[in-house]
Chains A and B, each alone.
Chain A
Amino acid sequence: MGLNITSLMDVLTVLLFFLIKSMTVTSTSVTPPEGIRLPASVSDHQVEEAAVVAFTKNDIRLNHELVTPLNNGNLRPEDLGEDKRTILPLETVLKKEYAKKKRLYGSQASMDLPGKILIQADHKLPFDKLKYLLHTASVSGFTDYQFVVEKPKE
């Protein structure tokens, strides 16, 4: 009894071509961490390759790696600098990231300076908390904010 797998092959090949067509291969993954629902926007400005900072309910992450935990969604007092605006652990890692990118971009004269940063936060996050992240990014050299949004669900 022969097994006819022609239809299965058809399905697999079509699915594969569809996925290859819709997938973009970039080194930047902007899928938000669990617990974040990004704000919806009709903006169609493409996401550019940059460092990704996420402000979740439990922690702050840079490129999906933990930077510092949060205390019930709030910054821990020991994480804030003397100016009460800079998040010290985040500043440390962002400055390293900036230096790394500057070394890379410095060798490529035609490329833009590495001041871009992608920001991911929950749509209900108050600006009172977000401002610390923005200030820290700014003092670390990242002055080109890119707020990551998603298409509104119809």
Chain B
Amino acid sequence: MLKRRAKDKMKGRLPEAEVNIVSLMDILTTLLFFIIMMASFNEFFALPASPLQMGKAAEGEQKPTFVLKVRLESENKLALYLGPVEGLTAITDKNGLKSWLRRRFSGNESRGYTRTVYHKNKETVQKNLQDILLVLKKHFPHESKAVLDVRGQVHYQVLTDTLSSVRSLGDTSEALTVINALGKEEKTRVLFPQVVISEWTGEV
């Protein structure tokens, strides 16, 4: 009787089956080792730049152009050169810019302005550079080109630090508000992303 009851109970159940997971384990471990071998646990990013290309303006082309050069002499010292601002049309608050340039730079409107940034702490040099570039960007919001002249002894790390500072604001800095081509205000961290790299030959 008991056996019959047990049999009746068993009727509603599916028969027990053994699941062979050996092949699944094979696939998982093979895939795991493959992915571990292929995976890179470092994140890599890139800093774009372009080379200086020799050329000359077409004859008769006298249109003033925005010229911004950062001359990198060492990790503690760099110099800025802003070309003549006379005749540039994309300036917001001309008077404010001119008085700021007179205070912070040496030079004049027709020949351009220069300024040296120096500090024993290289991070401070980069920060001071960004502060200056931020003001320039506010006055020239549609300009995006800059030239980076590099001295031979400068290390690659210093080059990439300066390249990064010229291209965009750091995360710790507040975003810049500019008026875009449609006339609307927008926030951006982009400064001068089109950087041309050249070798500093000693000329200004």
A127, B201: Cα distance in complex, Å: 12
Known interface pairs A39-B156, A131-B152; A19-B46 also in contact (CB < 8 Å): no
Partner of A123, one of B25, B38, B39, B157: B157
A110, B92: Cα distance in complex, Å: 38
A146, B160: Cα distance in complex, Å: 11
Which residues on the B side are within 8 Å of A145 (C-beta)? 48-51, 197
Closest residue of chain B to A40 (Cβ to Cβ) is B157
Partner of A138, one of B40, B43, B51, B163: B51
Which residues on the B side are within 8 Å of A4 (C-beta)? none
Q: Give a binary string over B7-47; 1 marks a CB under 8 Å from any A CB, 0 the rest.
A: 00000000000000100010011011001101110111111
Q: Give a binary string over B152-185; 1 marks a CB under 8 Å from any A CB, 0 the rest.
A: 1111110111011001101100000000000000
Q: Could you tell me which residues of chain A, from 37 to 85, have a CB within 8 Å of some CB in chain B?
A: 38-48
Q: Give a binary string over B71-91; 1 marks a CB under 8 Å from any A CB, 0 the rest.
A: 000000000000000000000
Contact A134 B28 (CB under 8 A): no
Q: Could you tell me which residues of chain A, from 1 to 43, have a CB within 8 Å of some CB in chain B?
A: 5, 9, 12-13, 15-16, 19-20, 22-23, 29-31, 38-43
Interface of A is mostly: mixed
A141, B192: Cα distance in complex, Å: 24
Chain A CB within 8 A of B138 CB: no
Known interface pairs A12-B28, A31-B40; A147-B160 also in contact (CB < 8 Å): yes
Known interface pairs A16-B35, A19-B35, A121-B156; A131-B45 also in contact (CB < 8 Å): no
Closest residue of chain A to B151 (Cβ to Cβ) is A127
Which B residues fall within an 8 A CB radius of A? Answer: 21, 25, 28-29, 31-32, 35-36, 38-40, 42-51, 53, 150-157, 159-161, 163-164, 167-168, 170-171, 197, 199
List 30 A-B residue pairs with CB atoms under 8 Å apart, sorted by A's residue number: A9-B28, A12-B28, A12-B32, A13-B28, A19-B32, A20-B35, A31-B42, A39-B159, A39-B161, A41-B160, A41-B161, A41-B164, A42-B164, A43-B45, A45-B47, A46-B46, A47-B45, A47-B46, A121-B156, A123-B155, A125-B155, A127-B150, A127-B156, A130-B159, A144-B48, A145-B51, A146-B46, A149-B44, A149-B47, A151-B43
